[in-house]
C-alpha cells in the first residue's frame, strides 16, 4: 500500500474501554482519538488509573477495545501488531537466561534464523552500552542495566513503533536520567529503525525532556484533555526558563486550570 504522507503511522478512532459487567461495569477509557505520525516522539501523560496502560495494550493489539478502531498505516489492526513492541517498567526479563539469551528469545519469536541471532543480539547489546555483559544473568546487573536489556530486546525486532510503559520509573534518579539520554541519542541519531516512539509516563518533566508532543489524560473516565507540542530543541535543560514554562503549562492542564485545546 502506498502511504499517503498524511496517513498516520498509528491512529486511534473513538476508542472506549469498559471493564466489569452489570452494575459494576465502568468506563476506563472514553472516546479517545489519537494520531501518531512517523518521526514523532509522543508522551502519553496522566495520573495513575487514567487508562494509559489500557490504551497501550489496545494500540499494540494486545486487547481489542470495547468500542472504536485502531488503524496502523491506515489499515485496521487485527490481533497483535507485529510492527510495535513494548518496553515494560519491570523489565520482564527471564532470570534463568543470560543477557544475550534474553535478547535472542525475542529474535527467535520473530523467526530470525538461529545462525544470525547471536550476532544480532551482540550488536544490539553493544548499541545500548552492554558490551561485555552478554553472559551475565539479570540478577548480576543493576536496574539501569536490566532496563538496557529490555530496550535491546524490544529493538531486536526492529519495531516501527516503540512503546515505552513507564520504563524509567523503577530506576534510581541517575540511572533513569542516563538511560533517557541514551534512548534520545539512539532515536535522534537514527541508529535504530524506529519510526515513532510512544512514552507512557506520569512524570511531567520526563515528558518535557523527551517528547515532541505531550498528550495529557485525565481520569474518571480516562480521556484526553490536551495535546501539546513541545517546541524546544534538544538537548533540553531542566532549568531553562522555556523548559519551565512548558512544565507549568502541562501542570496547569493536569490541575484543571486551563481548558483542553
Contact residues toward ligand ADP (CB under 6 A) are 19, 28, 46, 48-54, 222
Inter-residue contact 84 to 58 (CB < 8 Å): no
Cβ-based burial of 154 (10 A; exposed 0-12, middle 13-18, buried ≥19): buried
Q: Which three cell numbers stand for residue 61?
A: 493489539
Q: Please, which residue, 170 or 244, has the CB nearer to ligand ADP?
A: 170
Q: Please, which residue, 39 or 49, has the CB nearer to ligand ADP?
A: 49
Query: For the chain, first and last CA: distance in Å?
Result: 33
CB of 53 to ligand ADP, least distance (A): 3
CB of 130 to ligand ADP, least distance (A): 28
Q: Please, which residue, 65 or 222, has the CB nearer to ligand ADP?
A: 222
Task: Say how many CA atoms lie within 13 Å of 106 toward its Cβ.
Answer: 26
Q: Please, which residue, 150 or 222, has the CB nearer to ligand ADP?
A: 222
**Cβ within 8 Å of residue 111, ≥6 positions away:** none
**Angle between helical axes of 143-156 and 114-127 (0-180°, round to 10):** 130
**Distance separating alpha carbons of residues 186 and 114, to the nearest angstrom:** 26
Inter-residue contact 93 to 138 (CB < 8 Å): yes
Q: What angle do CA 160, 122, 184 make, to 5 degrees?
A: 45
Q: Please, which residue, 138 or 167, has the CB nearer to ligand ADP?
A: 167
Amino acid at each position: 500500500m502506498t502511504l499517503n504522507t498524511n496517513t498516520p503511522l498509528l491512529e486511534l478512532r473513538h476508542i472506549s474501554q469498559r471493564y466489569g459487567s452489570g452494575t459494576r461495569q465502568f468506563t476506563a477509557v472514553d472516546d479517545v482519538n489519537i494520531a501518531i505520525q512517523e518521526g514523532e516522539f509522543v508522551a502519553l501523560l496522566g495520573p495513575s488509573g487514567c487508562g494509559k496502560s489500557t490504551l497501550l495494550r489496545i494500540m499494540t493489539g494486545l486487547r481489542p477495545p470495547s468500542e472504536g478502531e485502531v488503524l496502523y498505516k491506515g489499515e485496521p489492526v487485527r490481533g497483535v501488531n507485529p510492527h510495535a513492541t513494548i518496553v515494560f517498567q519491570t523489565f520482564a526479563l527471564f532470570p534463568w537466561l543470560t543477557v544475550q539469551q534474553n535478547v535472542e528469545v525475542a529474535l527467535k519469536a520473530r523467526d530470525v534464523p538461529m545462525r544470525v541471532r547471536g550476532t544480532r543480539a551482540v550488536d544490539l547489546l553493544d548499541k545500548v552500552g552492554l558490551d561485555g555483559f552478554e553472559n551475565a544473568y539479570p540478577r548480576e546487573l543493576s536496574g539501569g542495566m536490566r532496563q538496557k536489556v529490555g530496550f535491546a530486546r524490544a529493538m531486536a525486532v526492529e519495531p516501527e513503533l516503540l512503546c515505552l510503559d513507564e520504563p524509567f520509573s523503577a530506576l534510581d534518579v541517575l540511572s533513569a536520567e542516563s538511560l533517557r539520554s541514551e534512548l534520545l541519542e539512539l532515536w535522534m541519531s537514527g541508529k535504530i529503525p524506529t519510526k515513532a516512539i510512544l512514552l507512557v509516563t506520569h512524570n511531567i518533566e520526563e515528558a518535557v525532556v523527551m517528547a515532541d508532543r505531550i498528550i495529557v489524560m485525565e481520569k474518571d473516565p480516562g480521556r484526553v484533555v490536551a495535546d501539546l507540542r513541545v517546541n524546544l530543541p534538544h538537548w533540553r535543560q531542566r532549568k531553562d526558563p522555556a523548559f519551565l514554562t512548558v512544565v507549568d503549562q502541562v501542570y496547569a492542564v493536569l490541575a484543571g486550570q486551563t481548558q483542553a485545546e
